[in-house]
Chains A and B, each alone.
Chain A
Amino acid sequence: MAPPRAVTATKPKKKADGKTQALKVAKAVKSGSIKRKSKKIRTSVTFHRPKTLKKAREPKYPRVSAPGRNKLDQYQILKYPLTTESAMKKIEDNNTLVFIVDLKADKKMIKAAVKKMYEIQAKKVNTLIRPDGKKKAYVKLTPDYDALDVANKIGII
């Protein structure tokens, strides 16, 4: 434990001659060049953990050699469109397409995937999970796209 009153260290000499060192220190004390460390005043009763330096990471090697590919791309999200009677009704009446999508896909992903795959703009996406465990997505298109045309283009009709 360092003594509370720190005295600035003398320069390291090859031969630490005790007498000369003592004389040097006495001289310094007399001249007043040694500064006494002031005692820290505490203004609070609680002791808080002092904030120390937090260094950012600089790894010497990456833990994973290459980041993995995105496995949920638009081809994986949209599995297939539904062609049931009620789905057909939705196409004609409500300008929506009905897809079975991947369970891990959310509405934002579905919207982006539909845009990428079929070049159409979705107004909104409603999803539900069917009892057999698959996710169904109702994709309502904006009025400037016709669901019937798109369905013809995809191949469901």
Chain B
Amino acid sequence: MARIKVHELRGKNKAELQGQLKDLKAELSLLRVAKVTGGAPNKLSKIKVVRTSIARVLTVISQKQKSALREAYKKKKLLPLDLRPKKTRAIRRRLTKHQLSLKTEREKKHEKYFPLRKYAVKV
């Protein structure tokens, strides 16, 4: 079997990817049987190849699913927790940029009437 290329996988749709996944898993089970019954070395070396291909297909499937979900939730206000930015727990609990920038009316007026002046000393 030709080496699975990821950019080819990304073109496929969900049903095709699931079908390919099934084929790969069936092949892996055959190879595992061959391992137990003392199979040929070319079969045994293929196990690693098939396992990594399965991993690639699963990665592409989950990436597609995630991006589709993000598209679906683009307009909405509240996101599911795994679509929100992860960062760190402490960072998530900090004040947002907007919240930090808020000033009282009093403060705004003060800044307006008493701005920071720059002076130059005449030589």
Contacts and interface: CB of A to CB of B under 8 A. Distances in A.
A154 B76 contact: no
A64 B65 CA distance: 13
A95 interface: no
Contact of B82 (A64, A80, A155): A64
Interface in B65-100: 65-66, 69, 73, 76, 78-83
A61 B80 contact: yes
A46 interface: no
A80 B26 contact: no
Please classify the interface of chain A as helix (H, G, I), strand (E, B), loop, or mixed, using the class held by over half of its residues: loop
B25 A75 contact: yes
A64 B79 CA distance: 9
B101 interface: no
Given A62-B80, A154-B33, A156-B37, 18 more contacts: A60-B78, A61-B79, A63-B80, A63-B81, A65-B66, A65-B69, A65-B82, A75-B28, A79-B32, A80-B35, A81-B33, A81-B36, A82-B36, A83-B37, A155-B30, A155-B33, A155-B37, A156-B36
Interface of B: 25-26, 28-30, 32-37, 65-66, 69, 73, 76, 78-83
